[in-house]
Structure 1
């Protein structure tokens, strides 16, 4: 019995060696082939990042500053300059830069906004107050904490300040509603400074407009609707 057991073990080992000898060269060739596939460069990754943003062939390509987490200091923001075709219309331009900001940086560890968050609507009031309406994921997926929440808001504000000079102040809505906080700490009932230079000069105030209302769908879809009127009482 012991002799038969040893025989079967030897046969099994021999069979395994034969199989390994056959498939090892095949596996080795596949590994070499995979290694030869060129990995995308950082610039290629950035181009792929911006392809999803709606653009017009007539939009000029300009250097655009987007603010994500600094690679040297995770508690601070740092501007990243990319070339992006941006509309001259401030509302469309703001949507383009914010959608790119939401898409995130090449290094996903440096993103400031949740990957599943989306910009639902954006418009600018006559006094320069921008209203950005985000999906619920901005509130539910942003890590709860003063630093993470403040960096999320600041990245939006600083990106708008650098690319859309018509925006002076910012009001953030979540799915069309005003929330008390973003994720438990940063107050979303307030209005945020975008034009920091004007704020230092005292040229803008942080008083909320009398009423904020999303524009009708027909107005929001109009390319030149850079300014909409506040709804009447």
Structure 2
């Protein structure tokens, strides 16, 4: 009798293991799917370039974190779709035309390495405030949408740069700058 119980238990374990492995194989080989609609925050410059203003959107995001980052950055590069509530003027896209994200890689310490095409640097209009708007539009957008990311390191064509336009040191990863974000006609402090 014990022998039959033992065989029955082995049979149950074997069948359970088979279905477990089949299910895992199907999950791994399935094409990437989206998570559905997700709310994101993008930061654009006010038209007077004094502060960043949040714009909220709903987009479909993939399941993979690097894919999500690229999708959020793609939305930032597309530019603003709303007008400022206080003056009716459109928000300013601070990413130069033609710039694109080549890739995103997460470091173990909560740092995101975000690689842009050379156009981000070559076509940047220059000026210290415009440079700050561009850098923190990118950094604040990433950190706000991905809480596990604490710092962003901006690369150009896979290489470290000293500065984007001559004013802000980008050799070290950057953290969120809440001092230049304006919410409801007030700067967030």
Same fold (TM over 0.5): yes
Runs of 4+ displaced beyond 4 Å:
none
Alignment counterpart, residue 79 of structure 2, candidates 104, 128, 132: 104
CA RMSD of aligned residues (A): 2.0
Give me the whole-angstrom Cα distance separating, in 1, the residues matched to 2:35 and 2:134.
28
> Does residue 1:132 correspond to 2:114, yes or no?
yes
Answer yes or no: is the 8 Å Cα contact 1:134–1:172 preserved in 2.
yes
Give me the whole-angstrom Cα distance separating, in 2, the residues matched to 1:58 and 1:66.
20
Alignment counterpart, residue 44 of structure 2, candidates 61, 68, 74: 68
1:117-156 alignment, distance < 5 Å: 117-156=99-138
* Cα offset, 1:178, TM superposition: 1.1
Unaligned stretches of 5+ residues in structure 1: 1-55, 197-233
> Does residue 1:176 correspond to 2:151, yes or no?
no
Q: TM-score, normalised by structure 2?
A: 0.68
Give me the whole-angstrom Cα distance separating, in 2, the residues matched to 1:124 and 1:194.
17
> Which of 1 and 2 has higher RCO (CA within 8 Å, sep 6+)?
2
* Cα offset, 1:109, TM superposition: 6.1
C-alpha deviations, 1:114-167, integer Å up to 9, x for none?
Answer: 121010010101111100010111001111111001111100111112211121
Give me the whole-angstrom Cα distance separating, in 1, the residues matched to 2:79 and 2:37.
19
> Does residue 1:187 correspond to 2:169, yes or no?
yes
Give me the whole-angstrom Cα distance separating, in 1, the residues matched to 2:169 and 2:128.
10
Specify the alignment match of 1:47 in structure 2. none
Higher share of residues assigned strand: 2
Q: TM-score, normalised by structure 1?
A: 0.56
Specify the alignment match of 1:78 in structure 2. 53
* Cα offset, 1:57, TM superposition: 5.3
Unaligned stretches of 5+ residues in structure 2: 1-31, 83-89, 179-189
Give me the whole-angstrom Cα distance separating, in 1, the residues matched to 2:177 and 2:127.
25
